Chain A
Amino acid sequence: GNSVTQMEGPVTLSEEAFLTINCTYTATGYPSLFWYVQYPGEGLQLLLKATKADDKGSNKGFEATYRKETTSFHLEKGSVQVSDSAVYFCALSSGAGSYQLTFGKGTKLSVIP
């Protein structure tokens, strides 16, 4: 079956530091890949997505590249801000006529001034 593995947190960074959150996946076929972000007390929001190999998703300074050869979709940001503190979820959809998502366990990021 499908599965997503994320680096375990929590991750604590100083403001303006570089961020990487690793994500690898196992899936049949050609899944679409997503990063969602969850701020305290809120639901998940789509941060970025990529639908095929070598696609790069980007939004709000975050980027992730769909690497089929390494089955990875690592999230990066060059300079984090305090407002980026949240839980980040990597997810995949295997398509097949639905958008059923399989999520990783989430990585909590705390950015300190």
Chain B
Amino acid sequence: DAGVIQSPRHEVTEMGQEVTLRCKPISGHDYLFWYRQTMMRGLELLIYFNNNVPIDDSGMPEDRFSAKMPNASFSTLKIQPSEPRDSAVYFCASSRDLRPQHFGDGTRLSIL
């Protein structure tokens, strides 16, 4: 398996800009998860999908955040407009059935 692939690995942008984070899950996995990691709050689940359908988005902090999964091999997390407090490492993870999750290497996002 190639593993979960996230892009970009690093993103630096100015406040107010739109940010798009991308994730390719492991082939055959039917669950996809987006997490945010910060020093203050640790790892937080933002949203997860099952078979491309959003199941629980209660962790999405506010309307500036949106996530889509147009097909089984691709998902995006968008922030528009971005703010400095969105700076964090964002992880995507995938799993098959109810098996443990496999994590990508993350996107380190810095909003200036």
Contact = CB atoms under 8 A, between A and B. Distances in A.
Contacts, number: 50
B4 A49 contact: no
Given A43-B4, A43-B105, A43-B106, A99 B100 contact: yes
Nearest to B55: A98
Interface string A26-42: 00000000101000011
Contact of B43 (A41, A49, A89): A89
B31 A98 contact: yes
A95 interface: yes
A104 B104 CA distance: 19
Contacts of B105: 41-43
Given A89-B43, A98-B31, A100-B45, A44 B98 contact: no
Interface string B19-58: 0000000000001010000000011010010100001100
B103 A99 contact: no
Interface of B: 4, 31, 33, 42-43, 45, 48, 50, 55-56, 91, 93, 95, 98-106
